[in-house]
A and B are shown apart, each in its own frame.
Chain A
Amino acid sequence: MSGIKKLLETIKTAEDFRACAYALEAEAVERYTELADQMEVHNNREVASLFRRMAEIEALHVKRVKGDGAKPAKTNTMYRWLGSDSVEAIQPTDLHYLMTPHHALSLALKGEENAAAMFEALAAQATDPEIKALANEMAEEEREHVKLVKAWLAKYPEPDEDWHDDPDPPTITE
């Protein structure tokens, strides 16, 4: 994964790692909540509640990164990821107002797989044993999420090709 070295340059201590992991998970919560709100406003309730559930799952992850203590002292609300958006967060432009749970879960799966890959790469390249161990732990957790989302996705088969057909599309000119 390109950019891992650059990211690793910002992670010198275990506290730096916690800050990075915290930012990643907190952004995932924030993004899923935003996506749930978007879907709710557009009355796509099924996908909205699914994103809401994903936000809850990620919030547990935030709690876990925080541990018993307060959030990491070094948290940065504007973390620069691997050159673009957080690897775990769904890109907002991938949304469609008629999307189905299958689409939502496919996007979530991609995010979880990306996060697992990022932590695996961090673990592989880190030289500090504490950071390596923490990265491996996070990678394992992300792999658990991957399994969970895959199981969930299995319940929602791919919809027909015309899933986005709208008899009254917003783009229609009057």
Chain B
Amino acid sequence: MNTVAPQAAYAARDYKSDVKPVWCPGCGDYSVLSAFTKAFAELGLPPERIAVISGIGCSSRIPAYTNTYGFHGIHGRALALATGLKVARPDLSVFVAGGDGDGFSIGGNHFLHACRRNIDLTYVVMDNRVYGMTKGQPSPTTEPDWDSALSPGGTGLRPFNPLVIALASGANFIARGFSGDPNACAQLIVEAARHPGFSFVEIMSPCVTFRPDQRNWKEMVHDAPVTATADAAKAARRLMTDDGFNLGVLYKGDRAPYQPELKESASIADLEKAFQT
């Protein structure tokens, strides 16, 4: 996504808006916001050359907290919006942010096809395995035995494996981070943005309100013992046997991104005429 050459030295604070986040204290999304702004500074992108697109959910509030172009879209449609934007404005660096519910449930179909199309986007999913904004319903990535008031005894359903599905669907870059290490997350976002094509970064971001058990994630995560591979078959084997806590870049493909040629569909004069009638 290196469509814009770094111009000036920016600091992370240059990308933060004046709006203070309203997430619960302790929420992992604060650190992801910090990782985004650090990554933007590291990429050296002027704020007006960045667009942050989201859907609906706690994590999807991120565009309001960043001082870049942003679009807080409708539920599950962040990738569709971002695809349209990137196709129309390839000069922009487009980042997509959201949660596991937004991305893998209502937005699941868009996720598959965004991976398949391999448009030059960076998609960051803050996965907390729960619908936090709507009071704690199980999401597609929730463990089958997670017992809660809204899912007594657990759902008993096999969770969605986003990384495996991203790989099978054609994503060109796959990584996993943990919000407890914001600097590492920032580094992953930088790498994802620099890698051409559709980059998918899953960030494990605890929901301390509905999933206080996730405070233990900091004891469970560990750096992936292997370096990223460009071999999809090898990556598939690794991801299928992954313990879910491996952090780092796990796959770096070499597929060329899809960017349709921009064609003028109508002249300015024609458009003006249409408005006059």
Which residues from chain A sit less than 8 Å from chain B, CB to CB?
Answer: 30, 34-35, 37-42, 44, 77-81, 83-86, 91-97, 99, 170-171, 173-174
Contact = CB atoms under 8 A, between A and B. Distances in A.
10 contacts: A34-B34, A41-B22, A80-B183, A85-B183, A91-B218, A92-B26, A93-B208, A93-B215, A170-B24, A171-B210
Given A37-B21, A38-B21, A81-B183, A92 B31 contact: yes
B20 A171 contact: no
B27 interface: yes
A28 to B, nearest CB: 13
B30 interface: yes
Given A42-B25, A77-B41, A95-B25, A84 B180 contact: yes
Contact of B218 (A40, A44, A84, A97): A84
Contacts of B179: 92-93
A171 B209 contact: yes
Contacts of A174: 135
A78 B206 contact: no
Contact of A91 (B42, B180, B183, B223): B180
B140 interface: no
B98 interface: no
Contacts, number: 92
- For chain B, which range describes its interface: under 10, 10 to 19, 20 to 34, or 35 or more residues? 35 or more
A77 B12 contact: yes
B66 interface: no
Given A93-B206, A173-B150, A78 B218 contact: no
A92 B150 CA distance: 27
Nearest to A174: B135
Contact of A41 (B21, B28, B214): B21
B38 interface: yes
Nearest to A34: B30
A44 B214 CA distance: 23
A73 B260 CA distance: 42
B186 interface: yes
A79 B26 contact: no
Given A41-B20, A171-B135, A171-B136, A85 B182 contact: yes
A28 B38 CA distance: 15
Interface in B120-157: 135-136, 149-150
A129 B31 CA distance: 37
A173 B149 CA distance: 8
B262 to A, nearest CB: 35
Nearest to B189: A78
Contacts of A86: 183
A77 B42 contact: yes
A83 B22 contact: no
Given A93-B215, A173-B150, A80 B184 contact: yes
A92 B209 contact: no
A78 B183 contact: yes
B42 A40 contact: no
Contacts of A37: 20-21
Contacts of B215: 93-94
A93 B20 contact: no
Interface in B156-212: 179-184, 186-187, 190, 206, 208-210
Scoring A92, A95, A96 by chain B CB atoms within 10 A of each residue's CB, the highest score goes to A92
